């Protein structure tokens, strides 16, 4: 699998804020540090990805850290996010110390969650890749009915985009190519299993008729 690359992102000016709050900072190397250190860049940029229906009910979700360790906490968070975003035209929300980008499609709401210091454009690239990839898998019918009927494919798409909170891919064409490869390489599909069972039934039928 392609090795993920670090994504550049801006950091909040925590040192400047501390200096304003506490007066002039000491010269470099003299006395105490002027403020907290900026957070180091990390590959683990995605906290969660989830898809809700137009009533705010979960259809698909993956959490990549322990911010919300229990199902109950995740559900409460998703409901709160849905209530905050479902009636707005914006595509970005800041909630509970997190940055959330989202997109609606017919009766679905798609969300990508990062920490407060994450680059919104980076999170949006993940959301756009997810939507475009699902649009291909669902034959441009990005709605609840088709998503429920193709949930395995939807999880495959998500796994090719984000793994453990690390962004692997943001090009939907590459995602679809990898999903198709994994599907072809998985051996017996549901259709092929049905064909094998049908063939076995026919063999038993003809053996009984002989």
CB 32 within 8 A of CB 26: yes
pLDDT digits (tens, 9 = 90+) for 41-69: 678 899 999 999 999 999 999 999 999 99
Distance CA 84, CA 15 (A): 31
Predicted local confidence at residue 182, as pLDDT: 79
Q: Nearest-CA neighbor of 42 among 171, 165, 168, 170? A: 165
Distance CA 172, CA 135 (A): 10
CATH number of 46-178: 3.30.450.60
CA angle, corner 209, sides to 192 and 203, nearest 5?
15
Distance CA 145, CA 124 (A): 25
Local confidence band at 35 (pLDDT 50, 70, 90 cut-offs):
low
Predicted local confidence at residue 89, as pLDDT: 84
Q: Which residue has the higher pLDDT, 27 or 79?
A: 79
Based on the number of CB atoms within 10 Å of its own CB, is 131 exposed (0-12), middle (13-18) or buried (19 or more)?
Answer: middle
The whole model's pTM is what?
A: 0.70
Tokens representing 65 are 């850290």
Distance CA 27, CA 201 (A): 84
pLDDT digits (tens, 9 = 90+) for 67-104: 999 999 999 999 999 999 999 888 999 999 999 999 99
Q: Which residues, 6 or more positions from 12, have their beta carbon under 8 angstroms from its beta carbon?
A: 38, 116, 117
Tokens representing 189 are 């599909």
Domain limits of the chain? 46-178
């Amino acid at each position: 699998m392609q090795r993920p690359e670090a994504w550049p992102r801006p950091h909040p000016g925590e040192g400047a804020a501390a200096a304003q709050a506490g007066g002039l900072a000491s010269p470099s190397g003299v006395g105490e540090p002027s403020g907290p250190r900026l957070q180091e860049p990390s590959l683990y940029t995605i906290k969660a990805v989830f898809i809700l229906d137009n009533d705010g009910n979960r259809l698909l979700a993956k959490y990549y850290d322990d911010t919300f360790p229990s199902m109950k906490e995740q559900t409460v968070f998703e409901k709160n996010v849905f209530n905050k975003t479902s009636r707005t035209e914006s595509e970005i929300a800041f909630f509970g110390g997190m940055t959330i980008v989202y997109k609606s499609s017919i009766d679905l709401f798609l969300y990508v969650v990062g920490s407060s210091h994450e680059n919104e454009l980076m999170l949006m690239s993940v959301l756009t890749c997810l939507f475009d990839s699902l649009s291909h898998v669902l034959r441009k019918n990005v709605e609840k009915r088709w998503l429920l009927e193709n949930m395995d494919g939807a999880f495959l798409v998500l796994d090719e985009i984000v793994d453990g909170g690390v962004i692997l891919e943001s090009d939907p064409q590459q995602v679809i190519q990898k999903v198709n490869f994994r599907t072809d390489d998985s051996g017996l599909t549901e259709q092929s299993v049905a064909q094998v069972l049908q063939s076995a039934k026919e063999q038993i039928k003809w053996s009984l008729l002989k």
